[in-house]
Amino acid sequence: MTINAAITPPELSADSNGIPRIYYGNTTGYQRKPVQTSLKLMDYSDAYIKTKDITQLQYLKNTANWLVANEKNYGNYSLLEEYIPYPRYNLTSPWQSALAQGLAIESLIKA
C-alpha cells in the first residue's frame, strides 16, 4: 500500500479555551469534531490526574462543557453530529458517528 504524499492531513490545534479544532484549509476553515474533542478531553483528564495543573483542569471543564453543549437533543436521547460532508461514504451534513458517540460517553465519564 502506498500513501499519496500530495494529501496533507488537516492541522489540529486548540483555541484559547483548550477546545480542539481542525483546520481544513481556506474553503472549510476551522471545524470542531466530536471524535477529536473527546480524545483531547481524555488527554486533559490524564494530564490533570498526573500533574494537578489547574490549566489542565480548566481545559478539561471547557472541553467537557463543549461536548455537552453541542449535542443535539432528540427527545429521549442526544447525539453529537458531524457537519463536514464525507463524500467517500456519501455522508452529507449533518451525520452521526457511532465512534463519536462512544468516545464522548467514555471521555465524559472519565472527566
pLDDT tens-digit series, residues 42-72: 999 999 999 999 999 999 999 999 999 999 9
pTM for the predicted model, two decimal places:
0.85
Phi, psi of 20, deg, nearest 5: -65, 150
Query: In the chain, at which residue ranges do the beta strands (DSSP E only) sit?
Result: 11-14, 20-23, 30-31, 72-73, 78-79, 81-82, 95-96
- pLDDT in the model for residue 85: 84
Statement: residue 84 has pLDDT above 60: yes
- pLDDT in the model for residue 17: 96
